[in-house]
Amino acid sequence: QNQNIGEIRRKYASANNCVNLSSSKTTVGMILDGCTAVFVVPGSPAFKPMSGNMVMKNDEIMLVDGAPATKDNIVTLLRGSDDIGGVVNLHVRRALDGDIEIVQLVRESVVKVAQAKDLYMAVSTHTHTHTHTHT
């Protein structure tokens, strides 16, 4: 189940899998496969929530502001009002133990989170060998 950064980047490069679609002003900093987090941008709202514990790889988003999340509506639900500083409440099923936890995030600028992601990807690619895996 381990994948290196290059594989993650290739697999999830498509905007369809990314919460920060180009039409959005805000993001919470997760790359999703359906409703499952496959990557959380270090320093992003999902990485440092207002309350609750950070979203982790393979956690599943069950509810967004009380609405059931599906692969078809999750991006719209997470975007919400698309206001920087807007608060979003998630019910997250933890991959580790199956517990459901409420996590409160504050939407941030797509540009700010994208810069953090790009920096992380550049540093990870530069400092790790291609055989190194991340969990």
Give the chain's residues under pLDDT 70: 1-22, 125-135
Question: Cα angle vertex 72, ends 70, 74, to 5°?
Answer: 60
* DSSP for residue 89: E
- Predicted confidence at residue 5, as pLDDT, reads 53
Residues 75-109: pLDDT tens digits? 999 999 899 999 999 999 999 999 999 999 999 99
Q: If residue 100 lies in a helix (H) or strand (E), which one and from where to where?
A: strand 100-106
Largest CA distance in the chain: 42
- The whole-number pLDDT of residue 92 equals 98
Measure the CA–CA gap between 26 and 114, rounded to whole angstroms.
Answer: 10
What pLDDT score does 118 carry? 79
Backbone angles phi, psi at 74, to 5 degrees: -65, -40
- pLDDT for 20: 43
Its CATH class, for the domain covering 5-126, is mainly beta
